[in-house]
Amino acid sequence: MPGNHRATRLYSAQQINIVRIARDLVTKWMNKTIKETRNGAYKSPMDIEYSFRDYLDSTRATGIPIEPLYPNLTLNNRVPEYGYHTSVAVNEEVSRSKPTDTEFQPGDLISIDVSVRLDGMCVAMIDTLTYRTPTRLYSKLVGVAYSILAQIISMLNYGNIASNAIAGMITESAKQNNITVIPNIVSHGIGLSSFEEPIIPIKPTDRNVLLRRGNVILAQIAITEGDGGLIIDTDKWLLITQDDSPTVHVGRTVIVGEL
């Protein structure tokens, strides 16, 4: 029924083009950073933070200045701005909004999450890699997460009624691979703000999303081999799994109708 579909914001061709430019710039940095981190060039979360700061400065020099959404995005929006622009989470960490100098260890799972704004439009990207020597368990988790993400993206096409179809696919994939999907992290709209309707849950609901050209969605998934329970650390900068299970978080900004 039409009245049972969640309202979605439609963006103009000009706004969509801005999203595309910002996304390309973030992708360029992320791809380089993943390669260099995997090879050991960056040895801690702060190394990645400094790399992103340098990249932001370089975009200003080219006349296409992307600005970071961090530090405005935190686990607790009452926390004052703190001056960091990346979330670099390791192993059981789901999100760490304040990077540390702790050195990565071979086999670590590293999730890198960056969000930027260009001419009023927001874009986000999240990738997870294994540091140096991948373990069998971590390689499996990373592979499953990217497989689910690819399926989510393939279903974000205009005319699709997406919410329950995506939720069903996620539920089935989790069951087949014996993993848990972290419920707090879901796909959602992104554009003039970093979090907009529609929200696409990981479990079926009674309200669906009719996708249209001009929608922009942050497709994302976070999985773990544990029970999915989370703890927010007392300083409000860190979100970790309650049972210390490793976590993989991946995400892409998707322009509906682009495929």
- Decide: 179 and 242 in contact? Cβ < 8 Å: no
3-state secondary structure 52-90: HHHHHHHHHHHCCCCEECCCCCCCCCCCCCCCCCCEEEE
DSSP type of residue 5: B
- Give the SS3 label for residue 123: strand
Pairing between strand 109-118 and 67-68? antiparallel
Q: Is 40 exposed, middle or buried (0-12, 13-18, 19+ CB in 10 A)?
A: exposed
pTM over cut 0.85: yes
Q: What is the pLDDT of residues 87-129, one digit of tens each?
A: 999 999 988 878 889 999 999 999 999 999 999 999 999 999 9
pLDDT band at 161 (very low <50, low <70, confident <90, very high): confident
For the domain made up of 2-255, give the CATH fold.
Creatine Amidinohydrolase (3.90.230)
Cβ atoms within 10 Å of 149's Cβ, excluding its own:
21
- Mean pLDDT estimate for the chain: 88
Sequence spans of domains, the chain: 2-255
Please check whether residue 93 is in contact with residue 248, taking contact to mean a CB–CB distance below 8 angstroms.
Answer: no
Give the per-residue pLDDT at 98: 80
How do residues 9-50 score in pLDDT, each as one tens digit? Answer: 899 999 999 999 999 999 999 999 999 999 899 999 999 999
Identify the pLDDT of residue 252. 98
Confidence (pLDDT) at 2: 44
